[in-house]
Each structure stands twice: as structure tokens, then as C-alpha cells.
Amino acid sequence: MNQANPLFKANQDEINAILWRACDTFRGTIDASEYKNYLLVMLFLKYISDVWAEHYEELQKQYGDDDDRIRRRLERERFILPEGCSYYDLYKQRNESNLGEIINTALEHIEEQNKAKLQGVFRNIDYNSEANLGQTRERNTRLKMLLEDFANPKLNLRPSAVGNQDVIGNAYEYLIANFASDAGKKAGEFYTPAEVSELIAELVDPQAGERISDPTCGSGSLLIKCANQITKNGSRDFSLYGQEVNGSTWALAKMNMFLHNVDSATIEWGDTIRYPKLLEDDELMRFEVVVANPPFSLDKWGADDVASDRFNRFFRGVPPKSKGDFAFISHMIETASLVSGRVGVVVPHGVLFRGSSEGKIRQALIEENLLDAVIGLPSNLFFGTGIPAAILVFKRNKADDTVLFIDASNEYQDGKNQNTLRAEDIAKIVDSYKQRETVEKYAYLASLEEIQANDFNLNIPRYVDTFEEEDEIDIAEVQAEIDQLEQELADIKVEMGEYLLELGYGA
């Protein structure tokens, strides 16, 4: 069996660089939002092939050449890799004229043998697509190059090479982040910037034993960040749930969970608002933590379809047809545990102050004492939009009826194409949220009465005064400077006139 070179230990930077170079096979000919699927599926296949190969060799030392006995033991693994379907089997066939078809068939067999974990994951990816990959000769060339890129001996994804590092999960996240950078506006459909995900995860503070949900989970990165909050304390006692409307992005989330060793995650495919699938006893499931970065102000989100919602999620009011922000917020709050539910959601600033039905829903949420914090973020953090956003934090069973406002809009790392939150920016926001104290020009702890006095408008400048007074201007000094400049200009004009006369110009 061909295999990764066991002499090479996994190095995160080298692996990331190899994978990013592999993108050149497609870059410039296929949109990044499309070619990401081909790269990420191949990374997934390479990983399970390397793991299978190493385990096969270990069992070979025990059972010799008894292939049947070895394969019976391997069937107890996290996954089953059917014979002839590994990355290395495909690499051997890289010169075949029907290479795309061969890859598709291998993925179908893998999915068939791992229905519980991978059913449907590869249905939206077609390595034999003429529309995406070109006509036969061109397509075969691209796929051959892709297989050869993954043959780099330094791309060693075996457990013995990786050790306890989360190299595979990190590489997957690295690719998704860079695809998001290339994909532009479409990136928001599948990726929330890592720093924003980290911030939300720290704000909602998941604990061991809790259920965590993301109803618009994209590729699953925000769920993984929440899980990391628990695993860094030495526990793996948590449950992850997600739903994603886009089929190919749902598949990315499923693979992302697998590569991060979260095999028990439940990720459903479908429209969360029209057809919520995270149900229990035919009712909405409840979660201790609910997080999301829903699509901003989604048009045609399903207002007509949920007017008589059987789950009664919109009893506070139905959001306008052209702006679905409060539809997602309402869903999230109605799926939060009644005892200890926390909700963290990214929203555009319009959610803070728009009127009509949105104003009524906002007022109801505040009067029910569910809103805990409003956090203004810097502009240009998110792919596909330069507008600033905010994070709303909701909590069940709050200790008091105050709402903390934080204006973090001016604290970030300036980037060429994208701004980012630094570790110190995240820490300052989280510390301020925990302390719940007014900090001049940064945070303000508002009472319910103050918010009522503002007609339930949550626009952050109404609460956090960031106005910087300008230095007093000395009018007399400024006038003296103007007089001096005018005198200097007059002297120069006289001097210029004299030069012109000497040269025979002018009177």
C-alpha cells in the first residue's frame, strides 16, 4: 500500500503552504466559492487514507499478511475505507482518461460504507463536472495536478506524525479562511472570521455538559470555537448541533466536525426558519448555548411561510419580508434553555434602531429582560461587506435588568483587505462584559428606564459617548498667522514683479 512518508513529521506551516499551492490548480479558472469543495474533500480523503494506512501497518505487524483479518479489525475504526478507494489508489490512476469518474466512484463507496457519519456529504461535489472543471482533457489535467499536489511527502497526516496537535483541523480552517478571502461577497455564506468566532465563544462561555447550537452554522467554525472553550479545560463533555441551508457548505461542516474529532455532532441540512430540523419530541430542541452569524438583512426569508408558525417562534411579531434579522434572533431565543440559555448573534447595526415590526420585537425582548449586552465591532471585519456589525448577547434568568453597551469599533488591527480583532481587543471586550461596569468612552451599563427613555433604540452612541473634544482654538493667534502669511505673499509678489521687469516683461 502506498503511503505518506513516515519520516516527515507534520509541520503546520509547511502543510498550510502545500495546500495553498494546490489551490493554484484552480485559481483564476474557477470561483473560489466553488473550488474550495474540491480541495477540502481531497484533504479529507488524504487524511482518512493516511490514518487507515498507518493502522493497517500496525495490524500487519500483528497478523502478518492475513488481509481479511486485518480488514475485519479495521472495521472497528471511526470510519471504513473501502478497498481501492484511498487517496493512494486514486493517485495510481492519475493518468486514466476517466479520472473524474474514478474519484466520484471512490467517494460514493466511502459514503456508502460510512452512512452514519458521511451520508450525503459528497453528493454536492462532482469531480467529473464539465461545467466546473472543463472538458475531458482539461479536466483530467487539473485533477492529475491536484492529486500530485497532495502527494508531497511533507503532507504527512498520519497520527504518528500529527501527534496531539490539531494539525488537520487547523489546516482545514486555514483553507476555509483563505477561500473566504478569495471568494469575496460569497464568503459570508460559509465562514465567520476566526477572531469574531473566538469572541462570541468567550462571551457565551460554554461549560462541560452543555448543548451548543448554531442554526446557520456555515462550515461549522463557530461551533468548533465553542467546543474549544470546553476542551481547553480538559473536558470533551459537550454536544454540538447545527443546521445549514446550503448543501455544499453543510458538507464542509460535516467534514469539519470529523476532522476535529467531533464525531457526535448533529449537523442538519435545510432552511432553519421554514423547516427547523433540530427537534425533540416534535418540538424545538433547547440548548444552553445558541450562537450564529446569520445572513445580514436577508430578503425573502420566509415571512409568508411562518405567519402561522407551529413552533410559535414569532409571537413577539413577524419581521419585515425584506429583512430577516429578527427572524433568526427569534428562532435562537426560542431554542435557548429556559434555565440557563445564552445567545450570541452577529447583526447589522440596523437591528439596533429600525422601527415598525422590528421595533416592536426589540421592545418585547428588552421588556422580557432577555437582552444582556450590545457590542459594537469595527468595520470591515467580515468578508463580503465593509459595514460594521454588532454582537447581541441574550440571557435567560438574568440577575438584574441592566444592559451593557460596549463600543469596540475603534480597536482592531488594520489590514490591507480586511481588519481583524487582536487578542488584546477580544480580551478587553470579554473582560468588560464580565465586569459590567461603565468605562469612559468604551462601555456603559444602562438601566431599563434609560433604554425606555430612548424608545428602546439601542444605537450605541446614545449610551457610550466617544466624542473627543478638540483643542481650543486661539483666534487671535490664528489671525496673526494669517496676517503673517499674507504679508509674506505680498513680499513675494513684489519680488517676482522686479524679476519680471528685469526680463522685460510687464509694466
* CB distance 438 to 445 below 8 Å: yes
Neighbours of 452 (CB within 10 A): 12
Task: Tell me which residue of 274, 217, 204, 233 sits closest to 430, measured CA to CA.
Answer: 204
Residue 403 dihedral angles phi and psi, to the nearest 5°: -130, 130
What pLDDT is attached to residue 1?
Answer: 43
What pLDDT is attached to residue 471?
Answer: 63
* CB distance 190 to 169 below 8 Å: no
Q: Answer whether residue 7 shows pLDDT above 60.
A: no
Sequence letter at residue 262: V
Q: Answer whether residue 189 shows pLDDT above 70.
A: no
Task: Tell me which residue of 107, 89, 106, 109 sits closest to 151, measured CA to CA.
Answer: 89
What pLDDT is attached to residue 5?
Answer: 60
What pLDDT is attached to residue 92?
Answer: 97
CA distances to 46, 123, 162, 171 from 174, in Å: 16, 24, 16, 5
Task: Tell me which residue of 56, 8, 18, 55 sits closest to 161, measured CA to CA.
Answer: 8
- Is 294 exposed, middle or buried (CB count within 10 Å of its CB: 0-12, 13-18, 19+)? buried
Q: Given pLDDT bands bounded at 50, 70 and 90, which one contains residue 429?
A: very high
DSSP-assigned states of every residue in 399-468: SSS-EEEEE-TT-SB--SS--B--HHHHHHHHHHHHHT--BTTTEEEE-HHHHHHTTT---GGGTS--PP
Q: What is the mean pLDDT of the chain?
A: 89
Count CA atoms closer than 13 A to 122's CA, side-chain side.
Answer: 24
Which cell is 323 given? Answer: 429583512
Residue 406 dihedral angles phi and psi, to the nearest 5°: -125, 130
Q: How much of the chain, in percent, has pLDDT values that exceed 70?
A: 93
Task: Tell me which residue of 195, 205, 252 sits closest to 34, measured CA to CA.
Answer: 252
Q: What is the pLDDT of residues 447-474, one digit of tens each?
A: 999 999 999 999 999 999 876 556 677 7
What is the sign, positive or negative, of the torsion defined by CA atoms of 49, 52, 57, 58? positive
Q: Beta strand pairing status for 342-348 and 389-395? A: antiparallel
> 315: which DSSP letter?
T
* CB distance 176 to 40 below 8 Å: yes
pTM, 2 dp? 0.85
Q: Answer whether residue 128 shows pLDDT above 80.
A: yes
Q: Given pLDDT bands bounded at 50, 70 and 90, which one contains residue 332?
A: very high
Q: Answer whether residue 187 shows pLDDT above 50.
A: no
* CB distance 403 to 438 below 8 Å: no
Q: What is the pLDDT of residues 15-53, one digit of tens each?
A: 888 888 888 888 777 777 677 888 889 999 999 999 999
Q: How much of the chain, in percent, has pLDDT values that exceed 90?
A: 61
